Structure formats: C-alpha cells, structure tokens
Homo-oligomer: A and B are copies of this chain.
Amino acid sequence: MLKISELSEQTGLSAHTLRYYEKHGLVNASNRSEAGYRFYTDSDVRRVQFVKTARNTGFSLADIGQLLSIRVDKRSHSCQDVTDITRKKLVEVNTKLAELQSMQQTLELLLESCCGGSENATHCSIMEALDAGLSREGKKEARLIK
C-alpha cells in the first residue's frame, strides 16, 4: 500500500496530477486510512502506469477513460472498440503532423533565404516573404508554398 507521495515517486506523476486524475474518474485509491489518506494497491499502480503510457502515446484523458473501461471489462468489449479509439487518435496525430511538417518546411526555407546577419532588416527576405503571404520565392528560388 502506497501513500500518494510514494505513488508519485514510482510513477513520476505529481500528487497534484494523481488527485486530478481521480477527480476526473481515471484512478481511485482502493483504500483510505481512517483519516482519509489515500492508499494505493499494486493494481492501482498498474492502472496509473497504464494511464501514463496512454498519455505518452498521445491519448487524451477522455480517450483514456474509455480505454480504462475496456480494460476493466475486456469481455464486454471487442478489439474493434480498441482499434477505433486508436485509429481516431492516429488520424488526429497525422493531421497535426502534416501541419507541423508544413510549418517546418516553411521555416527552413525562410531561414535559408535570409542572411541572418547584423545588417539592418530593410531588405530581409523573411519579412518580405511574410509580407507576400509566402507566395513568392526566397529571392533566388521559387519554392515557398508555390
């Protein structure tokens, strides 16, 4: 039986966060002392670690709520229930990934196009490109957005 600070240490999640998860229905302490102190069992620890792993994988707390309810009663759920949640997440991740990749490319082209020197920015090609809505090239090559 672990106290909240011990669970915090074991999982790397703060006690604040653990209480927050409890408030949101993700992880309860199986036991409480007479004074109300939370005490966590091994099973609780595993549940918290499941939550942490799922968070690292990108699932929202709402997703994780669903995954947890599958986890406690696997017989009443299908693999498809699980893949549905996972696939939905993958789509979200891919969408964000595409946005970020586009930003990355733009930023790299902007940096390539600019001297970055200490002379004044009167003719800075980054400023020019942003002014032109990125529609023009970086002065030499016609690649931005296009």
Across-interface contacts of A53 in B (CB, < 8 A): 130-131, 133-134
Q: Would you call B126 and A78 a contact (CB within 8 A)?
A: no
Docked complex Cα distance between A24 and B66 (Å)? 39
Chain B hits for A81, CB < 8 A = 121
Q: Does A103 sit within 8 A of B, measured CB to CB?
A: yes
Q: In the complex, are the beta carbons of B107 and A93 less than 8 A apart?
A: yes
CB interface residues, A 92-117, toward B, < 8 Å: 93-94, 96-97, 100-101, 103-104, 106-108, 110-111, 114-117
Contact of A116 among B58, B83, B97, B122 (CB under 8 A): B83
Of A13-21, A33-41, A68-76, the one contacting chain B is A68-76
Is B118 touching A46 in the complex (CB atoms < 8 A)? no
Task: Tell me whether A1 is interfacial, beta carbon within 8 Å.
Answer: no
CB of A62 closer than 8 Å to a CB of B = no
